[in-house]
Amino acid sequence: MQTRVYRNGVLEAEGFDPARCSDYLDQPDTVVWLDVCRPTPEDFAVVADELGLHPLAREDATGHAQRPKLEPYAGHDFLVAYGAHYNAEDSTLTTSEVDVFFDRRWILTVRKEPVFDMTPVLERWDAAPERAKHGVAFLLHGLLDVVVDGHFLVVEQLDEAIEGLEDALFSDDVPGMVVQRETFALRKALVAFRRIVLPMREVVNGLMRRDAIDADLMPYYQDVYDHVLRATEWTESLRDLVTTVLETHLTIQGNRLNEVMKRLTSYAAIVAVPTAIAGVYGMNTRLYPAAGSVAGWWFAILSMTGISLWLFFYFRRKDWL
């Protein structure tokens, strides 16, 4: 568990016992931050009682699979966001839920898994001490900025993966089954990523409409909102692009099959001519020309060769061979 207390915008203490939160909050001009990861029901109950969290918010924080959202409760607000990590080796997307409770003088972050690292958030806060005087709004902006930057990194990786898939479409060295498998894996990752990116527009927009955001911090929130919109639009375009890649792959497979069928049909027609002539001259009758003579043999051989060559060059001219 991590803790910090700011007084008049200056970091005063960190790493203290969460039970002392109420003591710090009783003092004027203080802002308290607490972070818990994989809290047990007992540990979370201590923090929840200390901050007076709403029962429904407690239930959401201890549950799973919450969608990104911003909900007001009596005495505090509740926010849900997701960090994301994309593994290019196996085309899988890993998400980590971060629940945030906040009021004007305190903020509590609850992480369901340690996958979401708070170190970049702390570095973001420490890099701008001049804005720490804005209290909870400043801390909340640093957290959301790290989350949205992570979304941008994932969408860039997905874009690169799709570009590699486009190059593989026209490569004879990559089996078609591999391209198809990668396409479906990317599509699955994009669908999961879209679920956590799209609702962030409402979350950030809802925060910007609140009176708790000072005018000095509004440009920073606007910047986060612009990044959210860009990530959302980029994700939508990538989803359409993956669909196009899949359709293109199927079209290429169909065209290649047509080329193979044309070649097979051409060779079958060429082979059919000598087969037919040989079948006629192999009949046990004397009705065909020059039957039983050397002239008949040469007539059959020259007919097979001549017609087969004519068909070969005819199909070559039609670009079937």
Distance CA 41, CA 97 (A): 17
CB contact at 8 A, 158 and 84: no
Q: What distance in Å separates the CA atoms of residue 290 and residue 178, rounded to the nearest whole number?
A: 59
Report how far residue 103's alpha carbon sits from residue 7's, in angstroms, rounded to the nearest whole number. Answer: 16
- How far apart CA 200 and CA 260 sit, in angstroms, is 49
Rounded CA gap, 219 and 208, in Å?
10
| Rounded Cα gap, residues 22 and 8, in angstroms | 17
Q: Say how many C-beta atoms besides its own lie within 10 A of residue 19's C-beta.
A: 11
Tell me the pLDDT tens digit for each residue of 202-241.
999 988 887 767 888 889 999 999 999 999 898 888 888 8
Amino acid identity, residue 233? E
Q: 293: pLDDT confidence band, cut at 50, 70 and 90?
A: confident
Residue 202 to residues 28, 33, 39, 279, Cα–Cα distance (Å):
33, 24, 28, 79
What is the chain's alpha carbon radius of gyration, rounded to the nearest angstrom? Answer: 35
Confidence bin at 172 (pLDDT 50/70/90): low
Please state the length of the chain. Answer: 321
pLDDT in tens, 245-283: 777 777 777 777 777 888 888 888 888 888 887 777 776
Q: pTM for the full model?
A: 0.76
- Measure Cα distances from 193 to 65, 207, 223 in Å: 13, 22, 21
